[in-house]
Amino acid sequence: MGYENAWLNYRRLQGSAESTYFSSDCTDSQGRTARTAIEELKRAAREIFGLDMQEKSGTQDAGICLKLNREAAAGEEGYHIYEKDGRVTVESAGGRGLLYGSFALIRMLQTGRKIGGADLTEVPQNPIRILNHWDNMDGSIERGYSGNSFFFQDQKVLVNDRTRAYARLAASVGINASVINNVNVKGNATKLITETYRRELQEMAEIFADYGISLYLSLNFAAPMEIGGLDSADPLDENVREWWSRQMEDVFTGIPNFGGFLVKADSEGRPGPFTYGRTHADGANMLADAAAPYNGTIIWRCFVYNCQQDWRDRKTDRARSGYDNFMPLDGQFRENVVLQIKNGPMDFQVREPVSPLLGGLKKTNQILEVQIAQEYTGQQRHVCYLIPMFKEVLGFHTYCEKEKDTVADLVIGRTYGQTRCGMAAVANTGDDENWTGHDLAAANLYGFGRLAFHTDLSSEEIAGEWIRCTFGMQPEVVEKVSRILMMSWPAYEKYTSPLGIGWMVNPGYHYGPNVDGYEYDRWGTYHRADHMGIGVDRSSGGTGYAQQYHEPNASMYEKIETCPEELLLFFHHVPYSFRLKTGKTLIQHIYDSHFEGAEDVEKMVAEWESLREFLPEKIYQRVLARFEHQKEHSKEWRDQINSYFWRKSFVEDEKHRTIY
Ligand code: GCU
């Protein structure tokens, strides 16, 4: 069996009673997504039961009926699945709901849940569930670890079987929007909004629409100058505004089901409103006004910071910058603008505090941005299941209000009643056969979709579903792969940079240990280690970042005694002799955790090796090869970090292990 359909590789079920439902289906909806749902059910019937599903016109005698009910309580994207008298009904107020419900029904089969007697209602919590692809027009992918782009090649837009296969995978976990090009919009990518690529984008959008996915593009704020022949991109300039209005009209009326734009402005060298002395609200609102007639959404990123810092400057703090830039603008954005906020204030490190903008902003639509491309978490060569991290972020109490104050409450719109909000993930896909390079990295793609649909699902539940759908239901496989996934993020954290300090990677490509790699650079990512201690003082006496949180979080981070230990070095400069809650000194903790992390990898490899007989040889070997690399590489991390701190501190390891 090939694995090119990831978790949609249906396995044959022999002699299953559930097959009776899959002999016939019907729908009372004329919509295209309902049509897709019917096709998906047929495919599942064929692949799982070898049945040729018959389509009936009347709802009376079909095994599965997709029922469009505009009044359905589950809404347009939610569904109610119920079985009665030998017939299954999937009911929703919209086509997307019927499609998601159909995939849920198939998932029930694949995960061994009984359909007989089913009564299941699920409503997606996040209105926007979007993937951000950082794909370039030449076919490369910024921070891509799974081959090349399947959206672009040689400056052309690709539309082929993989486009449909992608839409199918994404929709099967409830993704309803996708940005196909890199946020760093340069060269021909700027022209994606023009006639040049219109036909291909129309075709792609049609395929996406079949699966209920809105196409989005990243745009270049300087496009009026680069391709419009204007001499300015000033958001308050009438000519610029008119140019954008015309452009938006073309795009929104020319591309079906077009959702809107993602914008990276005044960030890491990209153009933006600052050039004209304007604010981010001016910039975003100009685009929002142009998109408003088409109900288009402008997703504006908050990843704005000074990337020309001097390492000797201890007052400027990159962590502060998102809040400093955007808080003063709270309430100034149009209703169709959404600010997209990275989960932490830095950049997708293995451990960061939650961005204080989440819960800071009270009058602005918000999207939480996470990265499933494992840029800083092993680049899909190390296994690192990130859903537990996202769960922690979602569960964080911001104390923005007395109740409904978690990040999940905020992004699903429960706190302030917003409807344009949700979750975005920087995607981890490419044209590799298995989509994600590392087979186990697909759990992050699957998991992101499921979590965005339902923030209450646990990491274990999601892992369990993904494993069953991907590898089958054998208990050994489910148990061991689940253990590997659940161990993987903590292990990665242990053998890489300690206690929330982050970075310590090779500059540029961000892979592998290099403790001082970014220490004297301009990017604002310092650990400040000297012979006495390590960490950045972000309390009031330092950069003051801790004070960007609501109480009691601000006080908790402010003091060494109350700061959560996993973030100790993010918030404080701490002597190596400092005693942690375990009674260990900081330096001994660094040594121990690094040895432990590398040992954890050995355990994961052993678990995997014990699964050989249960897995297809090709998959087994492909993952094993990555594990072997991870094993060696985790030792390199361990040794580099431990040696660095031993040489800095001159404190011996109490256990006298080899440190170079
Ligand atoms: C990181 C990443 C860049 C990316 C940027 C962003 O800094 O390394 O490649 O462009 O994030 O999120 O815009």
Which ligand 1 atom is nearest residue 426's CA? 12
The verdict on the CB of residue 143 being under 6 Å from ligand 1 is: yes
CA of 552 to the centre of ligand 1 (A): 31
**pLDDT of res. 2:** 47
109-150: pLDDT as tens digits: 999 999 999 999 999 999 999 999 999 999 999 999 999 999
pLDDT, average across residues 156-181? 98
Given 18, 347, 537, 558, the catalytic residue: 347
CA of 593 to the centre of ligand 1 (A): 29
Contact 95, 68 (CB under 8 A): yes
- Here the contacts of 268-273 (C-beta below 8 Å, separation 24 or greater) are 268/184, 268/303, 268/307, 269/307, 270/183, 270/184, 270/185, 270/220, 270/221, 271/220, 271/221, 271/222, 271/233, 272/221, 272/304, 273/221, 273/234, 273/235
Angle, CA 619 vertex, CA 613 and CA 622 arms, to 5°: 120
Q: Which residues have a Cβ under 8 Å from the Cβ of 483 and sit 6 or more positions away?
A: 607
Residue 562 has pLDDT above 50, yes or no: yes
Residue 361 has pLDDT above 80, yes or no: yes
375: annotated active-site residue: yes
**pLDDT of res. 1:** 41
**pLDDT of res. 570:** 98
The verdict on the CB of residue 237 being under 6 Å from ligand 1 is: no
| Total Cβ atoms within 10 A of residue 608 | 20
Preceding omega of 564 cis (within 30 degrees of 0): no
pTM: 0.98
Residue 549: both structure tokens together: 């949180």
222-265: pLDDT as tens digits: 999 999 999 999 999 999 999 999 999 999 999 999 999 999 99
Q: Which of 132, 134, 346 to mutate to test the pocket of ligand 1 (most atoms within 8 A of CB)?
A: 134
CA of 268 to the centre of ligand 1 (A): 8
The verdict on the CB of residue 307 being under 6 Å from ligand 1 is: no
- CA torsion 180-182-187-189 (nearest 10°) is 20
Given 375, 405, 432, 592, the catalytic residue: 375
The verdict on the CB of residue 347 being under 6 Å from ligand 1 is: yes
Q: What percent of the chain has pLDDT over 90?
A: 98
23-66: pLDDT as tens digits: 999 999 999 999 999 999 999 999 999 999 999 987 677 899 99
**pLDDT of res. 60:** 73
Q: Which of 145, 301, 303 to mutate to test the pocket of ligand 1 (most atoms within 8 A of CB)?
A: 303
Given 28, 55, 242, 268, the catalytic residue: 268
Q: What is the mean pLDDT of the chain?
A: 97
> At what angle are helices 459-471 and 475-495 packed, to 10 degrees?
130
CA of 347 to the centre of ligand 1 (A): 8
347: annotated active-site residue: yes
pLDDT, average across residues 313-329? 97
pLDDT-derived band at 3 (thresholds 50, 70, 90) equals low
pLDDT, average across residues 254-277? 97
pLDDT, average across residues 330-346? 98
Shortest CA distance to 265 belongs to which of 244, 287, 292? 287
**pLDDT of res. 385:** 99
Q: In terms of DSSP H, where are the helices of 396-528?
A: 407-412, 442-453, 459-471, 475-495
pLDDT, average across residues 152-179? 98
pLDDT, average across residues 588-601? 98
Contact 246, 194 (CB under 8 A): no
268: annotated active-site residue: yes
424-471: pLDDT as tens digits: 999 999 999 999 999 999 999 999 999 999 999 999 999 999 999 999
Q: Which residues have a Cβ under 8 Å from the Cβ of 210 and sit 6 or more positions away?
A: 32, 33, 35, 36, 164, 167
CA gap 163, 146 in Å, rounded: 16
